[in-house]
Amino acid sequence: MSNVNKIIDLNEINEFLINLEMQSIQYSYEIKENIKLFKSICLSYDKELNHLLLLSIPIKLIEFFNSTEKQLLYFTIVFNKINNPNIKKYMTNQLYKYRKYNLINIQKYII
């Protein structure tokens, strides 16, 4: 199984977030918290997936993928509110990479 960290460089996101801190003053609480939540999902995704694969309960796996996709779609809406085009583009690209990774896992483990 490929690791989400190979798809999304969490160090790059950390550096991006550090640079964003000074600019984030202008962003709402919602945007800042959702960026943090996106980062935490990136960190925990593979661990949760491995745990569910060990349990071998297909419905739990479907719920996990469905929940992840819903969160990522919500983040897409929230991140579209970012005014800075470079930051908006960066975050949406990260989301698309992650959604693609989630879809690959759905095809691998469900279909």
Task: Convert the pLDDT of each residue in 83-93 to its tens digit.
Answer: 878 888 988 99
Its pTM stands at 0.74
Banded model confidence at residue 59, pLDDT cuts 50, 70, 90: very high
Task: Transcribe 51-105 into DSSP letters.
Answer: HHHHHT-HHHHHHHHHHHHHHHHHHHHHHTT-S-HHHHHHHHHHHHHHHHHHHHH
- Segments making up each domain of the chain, as ranges: 4-109
What average pLDDT does this structure show over 48-63?
Answer: 92
